Structure 1
Amino acid sequence: MIEESCLAVLYISGFIKEEVNIMTNIRIERKSVRNVDFIKSYSMDNLKIYEKVTEAQAKNIGFREVGDVITPSQKYGSNCYKNINGYTYADKTKPKESRVVATFYMHPYGNRNSEEVLVDISRDCYPRVNVEPYGIEIELLMTESEELFVSVILNENIKKYYLKEAMNIMLEIFGGCYIGDTIKFSEIRRRRVIWILLPQGTKPSEHIRNLDIVHNEYKRQFIIDRFEYLEACEVEEIVQGLNSFQGYYAFVMKDYCILESAIYGNATYILRRENWEEMSKKTKGELLEEHNVVARIEHTKNWQKYMKNQISSLEKSRECANKDREA
């Protein structure tokens, strides 16, 4: 079947056929692929994984204009979720260990006449092995005939380790995608769409209060309490995360920036403030690299205590640095 764009296209539903070796561009329509060995027949320098879209489709995915670069939202499914957050699995070769699995408010001993307290729920679990996010990004491109396409950014790391994951992300979003090495897109300047500045005086806690983030009201209150604590600090601006940072808010302060998540179970990150505008253009994986992160605070009952200590320590360090400069 020949596609509208007059490319030589083979539609594949199910297993890849041998004919693929003589085709220039192929289209795959299935839920996922397990094997991508057939891609070796293409020029890796010119390889592209892409899909044709309308303006409405592009906007719905999160693009604003041609040249935008985004990490697909985790709302599309497990492949997009792992791409943003990574994942963990139980290492059953090692003995179980106690781990906090939930934190929320509850009445002590079930006594509803008593004041609610914040409680950590711990269980004996196998140690978890962390698998890093893939970090796959997609961009909105245009051909000379002004057709819009979404294409995976295939850097050397993605080509070497994550081609299958890149294809499965496209299949998860669109239900089908093209693979080829001949299509050409117009030259554009890339722009990452990650953060949006909130109007002065905006309180994320008020917005979160109306969201159906978690069904457990006690867990919801724990999330709101964390945001209200940060809103009471000396914040210069608050920015809301988009796409790969969906659910995160950045509280930008004088010397540091605090990334807090409205998604239950994530952690709070304190980052160095230097050149926040440049840092904000990085992917989640790049931004949370060790040399950028001052502290990572788990969402447990002692969160406020640890946060207070960290902020106090950072302010003391700033005061000492100022004194040294004055001297």
Structure 2
Amino acid sequence: MQINRKTRNITKYLKHLQPTELYMLGLVVHPGVEARLKNLGFEVPLVPGQRVLAPARKGPASRRNAEGFDIVHRDRPKEIAYRQVVWTWTQFAGRNHTEEKSKVVDVPYQRYPRTHILPYGIELEVKMRADGQIYVLAGPFSNDEFSVAVATNSANMMREALGGFEVLDKELTSWVNAPMRRLHWQLLPPGRNPWESALPALEGVVEHAPAGNRGVLRARLSAVGAKKPDFVAIGLGGFEGYAVFGFARLKLCVLECPQVNNATYVLPMESWERVAQMTKAEILDARAHTARIVHTRRWFDALDSVLSDDRKAA
């Protein structure tokens, strides 16, 4: 039975399952679902094994799944936090001339303390049943209290992205094995100067960011681009707004996050193919990245240090 409405708790649809029994959330792929999958970033015709993280823009559940969320502690005293903005001013340049200057500054403000919860990162996958029927699936999940929150959010994410969901138990399905391929990144044409050739696509990333964040994001992307990356890729699906810069000489990838006041991640680049197949949880894992550069006024100096050619020599 397909459920097309938001659910507060997935357990009311699991009464036919035994405790701890595994189940999937999914839908049979028909033309309407296929069109929605294409909009999410799947390649059509669909091939079993394709995986996509649904874009945050699809709704609150998709946003929690792709970007995480904050628990705001309104019972605690407010604290000082900082937001980054581009400060622009006009400076005297002699003989009745002026020039416009700008820099990124940290602006303090007060807010309630908050705890950031990492994204659930549940991906949608195309799979084929033994009889040839194509499904899109999320899971598996266990029928227990520990899986309720993530499974409930995943059900609502599927409703936002695909219009609904079904609960599929293991007895209903027998899946054909297929190699997994994540469709998270679009590798931009390198050309003779990868940064220059990537500029139009990166400007599109900037324009899709909130208006107040664009100047800061543009400044950060330009700072990374000035280091002459060997390739540039932009995120798709749940990685929308992200950009990856590869530096072969340093064996590093720089992953820039679109949210101001977040962080930039530096990953070892054994190969681009390996990085491209990492989940968001793997990228955010402290054991996976070699550096995490927090978005503060010291970000530019920290980037210089990480991407210094002296670092390679050391």
TM-score (norm 2): 0.80
Match of 2:111 in 1: 125
User: In structure 2, how many angstroms separate the alpha carbons of the residues matched to 1:158 and 1:207?
Assistant: 44
Note closer, same or farther for the CA distance 1:127–1:263 as it changes in structure 2 (3 Å cut).
Answer: closer
One-letter amino acid of the counterpart of residue 167, structure 1? A
1:91-139 deviations in Å (ceiling 9; x for gaps): 234332211134223338xxx9864443222112222101111121111
For 1:167 and 1:158, how far apart are their aligned partners in 2?
A: 16
1:164 pairs with one of 147, 152, 155: 152
Distance (Å, rounded) in 2 between the aligned partners of 1:265 and 1:45: 41
**Distance in 2 between the 1:287 and 1:215 partners?**
24
C-alpha RMSD over aligned residues: 2.8
Higher Rg:
1
1:215–1:317 distance in 2 versus 1, CA, 3 Å: closer
| 2:281 aligned residue (280, 285, 302) | 285
Structure 1 residues 77, 158: closer, same or farther in 2, change over 3 A? Answer: farther
SS in 1 for 2:126: strand
Of 233, 238, 245, 1:251 maps to: 245
Per-residue CA deviation, residues 19-51 of structure 1 (Å, 9 max, x unaligned), is xxxxxxx32121333342441522565522111
1:21 is aligned to none
**Distance across 2 between alignment mates of 1:130 and 1:208:** 27
Equivalent residue, structure 2, for 1:177: 165
Percent identity over paired residues = 26
How has the CA–CA distance of structure 1 residues 273 and 263 changed in structure 2, closer, same or farther, with 3 Å as cutoff? same
2-side partners of 1:180 and 1:224: how far apart? 45
1:23-62 equivalent positions in 2, closer than 5 A: 26-42=1-17, 45=21, 47-53=23-29, 54=31, 55-62=34-41
Q: Offset at 1:265?
A: 4.5
Report if the CA contact (8 A) 1:33-1:167 is conserved.
no
CA contact (8 A) 1:32 1:172 kept: no
Partner of 1:195: 185
Unmatched tracts of structure 2, length 5 or more: 91-97
Query: 2:177 is matched by which residue type in structure 1?
Result: E
**TM-score, length basis structure 1:** 0.77
C-alpha contact 1:259 1:270 (8 A) present in aligned 2:
yes
Confirm or deny: 8 A CA contact 2:81 2:109 kept in the other structure: yes
* Counterpart residue type for residue 153 of structure 1: G
Distance in 1, Cα, partners of 2:234 & 2:300 = 21
Structure 1 alignment gaps of length 5 or more: 1-25, 321-327
Task: Choose from 261, 267, 274 the match for 1:271.
Answer: 267
In structure 2, C-alpha distance between the alignment counterparts of 1:173 and 1:134, rounded to whole Å: 16
Instruction: After TM superposition, list the pairs within 5 Å mapping 1:93-108 onto structure 2.
Output: 93-107=75-89
**Residues 262 and 92 (structure 1), Cα distance of their counterparts in 2 relative to 1, 3 Å cut:** closer
Distance 2:144 2:88 in 1: 45
Name the structure, 1 or 2, with higher relative contact order (CA <8 Å, separation 6+). 2
